[in-house]
């Protein structure tokens, strides 16, 4: 069978700008590679990028979106801080400005099934609202527009983008969902599973090529051999650990399953950049423009 190509993008808030610039550089070096992707997967900010590419936006369009609109999206007014006691009883940011930008980009009513490309976008459902004796519980959710009984083609693009990017403590939950990063901040393995599933992709493992792109490896760590911390101290670090700490797991799995047909582009950031630090947008652009992408370009030309 012909090669089946997957492009996967991690979550990371404003660091999606780093991903967008990497995509821009890769597209300049290997023209048309994004158009050849059969499946676009993304979590959180990566989900917005995946949906944007599927809707026909270019990497340059996405760079402009992050560069020009991040300050508005991460607008934390003194009045909001007063209402939520500086984040103690409310999210750091309102999601209204994010929604306005997403509506501007995707339209208010456009559905996943109207996208010309296949997508997989993780989120986390806080309550399945089960009734009739079924178990009520939270669960991961992988929105996709493949045809079939479990297709999410009827979902609005804006809603899916809002759900996958609702990072706990940063943004409010959206329609009962929070950021897909709590279960699959690196969605490459989810995309691979979707491609292999007989009811959706039905592809053979040997035919799959997968490029996974990070938002930059953040040089973050916690000092101390014995941290006797309570809830207040662990609340924000645990969010970061949940969202970023497990990204190496799907990388390990995909590398073993696909071998040379898999490549991970994960440059180390010179300095840590927080999910919401829009003031470092200029630094992220410089970091991404100077990052080494030679091996990724070589891999794309050989395998993609």
User: Of residues 10, 92, 179, 251, which has the active-site annotation?
Assistant: 179
User: Of residues 8, 10, 44, 251, which has the active-site annotation?
Assistant: 44
What is the rounded distance in angstroms from the CA atom of residue 133 to the CA atom of residue 266? 45
Q: In terms of DSSP H, where are the helices of 176-247?
A: 181-184, 188-196, 231-244
| Of 151, 164, 59, 157, the residue nearest 114 (C-alpha) | 157
The verdict on whether 80 is a catalytic residue reads no
Q: Do β-strands 139-144 and 118-125 pair in parallel, antiparallel, or remain unpaired?
A: antiparallel
The verdict on whether 44 is a catalytic residue reads yes
Q: At what angle do helices 157-164 and 45-54 cross, to 10 degrees?
A: 160
Give the sign of the dihedral formed by CA 234, CA 235, CA 236, CA 238. Answer: positive
Q: Looking at the annotation, which residues are catalytic?
A: 44, 179
């Amino acid at each position: 069978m012909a090669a089946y190509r997957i492009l996967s993008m991690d979550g990371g808030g404003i660091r999606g700008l780093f991903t967008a610039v990497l995509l821009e550089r890769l597209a300049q070096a290997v023209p048309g590679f994004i158009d050849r992707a059969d499946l676009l997967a993304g979590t959180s900010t990566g989900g917005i990028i995946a949906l944007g590419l599927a809707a026909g936006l270019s990497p340059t369009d996405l760079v402009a979106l992050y560069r020009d609109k991040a300050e508005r999206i991460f607008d934390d007014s003194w009045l909001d801080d007063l209402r939520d006691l500086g984040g103690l009883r409310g999210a750091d940011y309102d999601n209204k400005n994010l929604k306005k930008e997403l509506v501007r980009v995707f339209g208010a009513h456009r559905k996943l099934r109207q996208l010309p490309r296949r997508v997989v976008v993780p989120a986390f459902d806080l309550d399945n609202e089960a009734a009739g004796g079924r178990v009520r519980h939270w669960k991961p959710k992988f929105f996709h527009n493949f045809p079939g009984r479990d297709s999410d083609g009827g979902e609005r693009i804006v809603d899916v983008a809002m759900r996958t990017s609702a990072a706990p403590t940063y943004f409010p939950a959206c329609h009962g969902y929070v950021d897909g990063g709590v279960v699959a901040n690196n969605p490459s393995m989810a995309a691979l599973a979707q491609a292999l599933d007989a009811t959706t992709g039905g592809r053979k493992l040997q035919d799959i090529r997968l490029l996974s792109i990070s938002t930059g490896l953040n040089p973050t760590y916690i000092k101390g051999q014995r941290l006797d911390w309570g809830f207040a101290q662990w609340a924000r670090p645990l969010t970061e650990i949940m969202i970023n700490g497990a990204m190496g797991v799907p990388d390990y799995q995909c590398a073993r399953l696909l071998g040379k047909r898999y490549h991970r582009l994960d440059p180390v950031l010179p300095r840590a950049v927080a999910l919401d630090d829009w003031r470092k947008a200029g630094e992220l652009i410089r970091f991404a423009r100077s990052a080494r992408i030679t091996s990724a370009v070589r891999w794309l030309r050989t395998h993609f």
